[in-house]
Amino acid sequence: MYLLTDLLAHLISGYMAVKLMYLANAVGQLFLLDAFLKIDYHLYGVHVVEQLIRGQELLQTSGERGHLPWKTGSDRHWIGADSIRGQDWSHSERFPRVTLCEFEVRHQSRVHQYVVQCALTINLFNEKLFIFVWFWYVFLALITTVNSLRWLFRSLLPPSAGTCCDARARATARTTTHV
């Protein structure tokens, strides 16, 4: 009997250690991306949700039905939270979409240097991708935490605690149905 409970204790502690490693991995990935991107990434999803909520407030305060107060003129690009906020699609705090590019063009043995405005369209995709990745890691961390706590409480409670309450509830249900 002692060998069985000792083996069960090792099994529970090993399983919980693996679950803690899963949680550390999910949270560590957020901070690793923060160090890689250097953009305060560990709170990126909170910032995006905050922007969306502000956009919803604008939508609710709109007087006319169908009239959006920030959708005027050439600002009709619906690309993410920046558009909901009413900013131009080319502006993003963390993933710049427009930059200046320098070109050298040879024309008749002379080199002409030009500075032009370039659109970084891949950053539109990168922004959406990193928003998804942030929410995915937070979801994994939450699910792992909830599952670990649930499993820990189930393993620490004696097996008779739950069955005693279940047996009493069944007995009470039988006596109330016969009356």
The predicted structure's pLDDT at residue 123: 86
Q: What is the pLDDT of residue 17?
A: 93
Instruction: Please state the domain count of the chain.
Output: 1
124-128's contacts with Cβ under 8 Å and 24+ in sequence apart are 124/79, 124/80, 124/95, 124/97, 126/95, 127/80, 127/92, 127/94, 127/95, 128/80
Of 90, 85, 91, 46, residue with least CA distance to 69:
85
Higher pLDDT, 58 or 141: 141
Length of the chain: 179
pLDDT of 44 higher than 50 = yes
Whether pLDDT at 175 is above 70: no
Secondary structure of residue 30 in the 3-state scheme: helix
Place of tokens 């922007």: 51
Enclosing domain of residue 12? 2-172
Say if 128 falls within a structural domain.
Answer: yes
Asked whether the predicted pLDDT for residue 135 surpasses 70, the reply is: yes
| Secondary structure class of 88 (helix, strand, coil) | coil
Task: Establish if 80 belongs to a structural domain.
Answer: yes
Exposure string of 148-179, with b = 16+ CB inside 10 Å and e = fewer, is beeeeeeeeeeeeeeeeeeeeeeeeeeeeeee
If pLDDT is split at 50, 70 and 90, which confidence band does 59 have? very low
- Structure tokens of 133? 């990745």
Give the chain's mean pLDDT.
75
The yes-or-no verdict on residue 119 having pLDDT over 80 is yes
As a whole number, mean pLDDT of residues 138-159 equals 88
List, in order, residues 6 or more apart from 148 with CB less than 8 Å away.
16, 19, 20, 23
Q: 82: Cβ–Cβ under 8 A, 6 or more apart, which residues?
A: 51, 88, 89, 91, 92
Question: What pTM was computed for the model?
Answer: 0.63
Number of H helices, E strands in the chain: 5, 2
pLDDT of residue 66: 41
Report the pLDDT value the prediction gives residue 97, as an integer from 0 to 100.
Answer: 84
Quick check: is 117 in a domain? yes
Question: Which amino acid appears at position 26 of this protein?
Answer: A
- Structural domain includes residue 147: yes
Q: Is residue 179 part of a domain?
A: no
Q: Which of 179, 130, 102, 109 is nearest to 32 (CA)?
A: 130
User: What percent of the chain shows pLDDT beyond 90?
Assistant: 21
pLDDT per residue over 76-93, tens digit each? 334 454 545 555 555 667
Mean pLDDT of the region 9-20: 88
Asked if residue 177 is part of any domain, the answer here is no
pLDDT of 38: 81
pLDDT for the residue 174: 67
